[in-house]
């Protein structure tokens, strides 16, 4: 399970780096490319790329943290905390998308 989380984290981080580096905002399914302000496309790519890199870092970190805990209760608390952390990060990401859209 830890290898799967590590691979998921690395994959998300690479996806985020690709979105940021190549300005690949067309890969974002939650953003309508017709609604994006053309002058802010670079900022959107950076914003979405950093979000993916951050979530990838959370998954990669979780793969290493899980090794430290042995009881089921500890694992559930760590995984539950991670889910809450990712939900908060996603809410912040989605609320920040408005600044890159046409007015």
Give the chain's domain count. 1
Looking at the chain, the whole-number percentage of residues with pLDDT higher than 90 is 90
Task: Give the global pTM.
Answer: 0.92
* pLDDT for the residue numbered 65: 92
25-74 tens-digit pLDDT: 999 999 998 999 999 999 999 999 999 999 999 999 999 999 899 899 99
Q: Is the pLDDT of residue 1 over 80?
A: no
Write a three-state SS string for 31-93: CCCCCECHHHHHHHHHHHHHHHHHHHHHHHHHHHHHHHCCCHHHHHHHHHHHHHHHHHHHHHH
Mean pLDDT of the region 80-100: 96
What's the CA gap between 29 and 19, in Å, rounded? 12
When pLDDT is cut at 50, 70 and 90, the band that residue 7 belongs to is: very high
Q: What is the mean pLDDT of the chain?
A: 95
State the burial class of residue 16 (Cβ atoms within 10 Å of its Cβ: 0-12, 13-18, 19+): buried
The pLDDT confidence band at residue 103, using thresholds 50, 70 and 90, is: confident
Distance CA 46, CA 30 (A): 15
Residue 45 · residue 20 · CB < 8 Å: yes
Residue range of the domain that includes 58: 2-100
């Amino acid at each position: 399970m830890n290898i799967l989380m590590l691979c998921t984290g690395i994959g998300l981080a690479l996806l985020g780096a690709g979105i940021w580096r190549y300005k690949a905002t067309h890969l974002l399914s939650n953003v309508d490319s017709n609604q994006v302000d053309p002058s802010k496309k670079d900022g959107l790519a950076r914003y979405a790329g950093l979000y993916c890199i951050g979530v990838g870092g959370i998954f990669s970190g979780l793969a290493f943290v899980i090794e430290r805990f042995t009881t089921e209760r500890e694992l559930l608390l760590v995984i539950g905390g991670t889910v809450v952390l990712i939900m908060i990060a996603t809410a912040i990401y989605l609320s920040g998308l408005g600044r890159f859209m046409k007015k």
